[in-house]
Chains A and B, each alone.
Chain A
Amino acid sequence: MSGTHYVYWLLFALMMIGLYVVISHGNLLKKMIGLTLFQVSVFLFFISLGKVEDGSAPIISPEVETYSHPLPQVLILTAIVVGVATLAVGLALAVRIFEAYGTVEEQDMQERDEDRHGAAS
């Protein structure tokens, strides 16, 4: 452990805020926002592991000697685009749920389901 671990700690704090929102909030859209925050912190964590002190972007040029590692960047680059595509799927589901239930709150949805079951039996 050294004096530079503040980077990881701050990223973990961000990750936990995202996780907290996902677990505690009942609003589906807020959950998606929380998931985005969580995702961003994972991205940053990956990139931070590839960074070298005094390094440069991994684009080879004769004047540069130290480069950061390209592999985490490749993985995260594709993950961001996949992330927004899956976010869109989540949001589309939320829209359909809203059209069926008239709400995006978990609590209200459960109540409506129980009412429906109560009416049927």
Chain B
Amino acid sequence: MTTFTVINFTLLTILTVTALVIARLRALYEAAMLTALSSLVTASLFVLMDAVDVAFTEAAVGVGISTVLLLGVLALTRSREAVTPRHRHLPAIAVTALTGGLLVYAAQDLPAFGSADSPVQRHPVTEVYLHQSQKEIGVPNTVTAVLASYRALDTLGELVVVFAAGTAVLLLLGPLTHGKRRQNLDLMEYKVLRVVSSLLMPFVLVFALYVLFHGDFGPGGGFQAGVIFATGFVLHGLVFGLDKSQRVLPPAALGSLVPLGLGLFVGLGVVTMLLGGSFLDYGTLLPTGGPAAQHLGILTVEVAIGITVAAVMTSIFFAFAGRRPTR
């Protein structure tokens, strides 16, 4: 047994046990905190499986944003779950046993974990993404190359979903600006928190910029930078109160940033079409074409993604934090 197997097995077991405990807990605050823990373990597993970009995103999203959202909703609603009646358990056990059994049965056909000759690795696209991309796009981080260039249209679709989800939340929870509200998330009286978070704030934002612009060469990119930006503002909002952070980032400005990124992305596609290429064909951006034009296109797309993701995540947080509890 190698060290890799031991670490992998241990982390997966911790994850499964955490999930079991979450399923049994009726106190939802504790369940939300354990969900954050499971996200952290998941991020470690992503690093172990060589998915550093994904680990980055999971750490910022799972541990940061989704935990804050869950806790915010628990503050608005009830944090104790009712006892699940016995008659609901049986059908659930039957369904999960059947599905789980089928999955384990089907998994016999799956290639061994980590094998180099699995269908995934033998597919012709592997060669293109890993080696040909170095000549065509010239970006060492192939995840960025695939995300922002080869599959840019796909990424545009994902960004539209993020945009739509953000709009849906704002429609459900009302506009961000309305009169005086109760501060349900305000930790101003904690001096240590205040000092530490105001010291951290610039570093978080500079780090987000680093992640955004360094995405070509190392782990990073628009999605990661967007969520890191948002965690910076979430931290500010939590510690200094919503009113203060909305003075820093007015809801009107935030609202216009949400469609700006999406517009930039689509606009780039239209520009490449006007220049005579197909939609999002970066080769037309510069007369010389090649990697330099690809770099330009990728950078624009990453900035567009970063703007929309950061604005959507921050306004979702503002929407939840600005909601007045009805009790």
Contact = CB atoms under 8 A, between A and B. Distances in A.
B104 A12 contact: yes
A66 B264 CA distance: 36
B153 interface: no
Contacts of B226: 81
A105 B162 CA distance: 28
B301 to A, nearest CB: 12
Determine the interface band of chain A, counting residues with CB < 8 A from chain B: 35 or more
B78 A104 contact: yes
B118 A49 contact: yes
Contact of A8 (B13, B70, B107, B316): B107
A57 B100 contact: no
A60 B28 CA distance: 44
Interface stretch (B119-127, B192-200, B266-274): B119-127
A43 to B, nearest CB: 7
Determine the interface band of chain B, counting residues with CB < 8 A from chain A: 35 or more
The 10 closest A-B pairs by CB, nearest first: A85-B165, A24-B92, A53-B114, A4-B113, A68-B50, A78-B158, A23-B92, A92-B172, A2-B112, A10-B12
Interface of A: 1-21, 23-27, 29-30, 32-34, 36-37, 40, 43-44, 47-53, 55-61, 66-74, 76-89, 91-96, 98-99, 102-105, 107-108
30 contacts: A2-B112, A12-B104, A16-B100, A19-B95, A23-B88, A23-B91, A25-B84, A27-B82, A29-B70, A29-B74, A30-B81, A33-B32, A40-B39, A47-B45, A50-B120, A53-B116, A60-B134, A60-B142, A67-B130, A70-B142, A77-B53, A84-B313, A85-B313, A91-B73, A95-B76, A95-B173, A96-B173, A98-B78, A104-B77, A108-B82
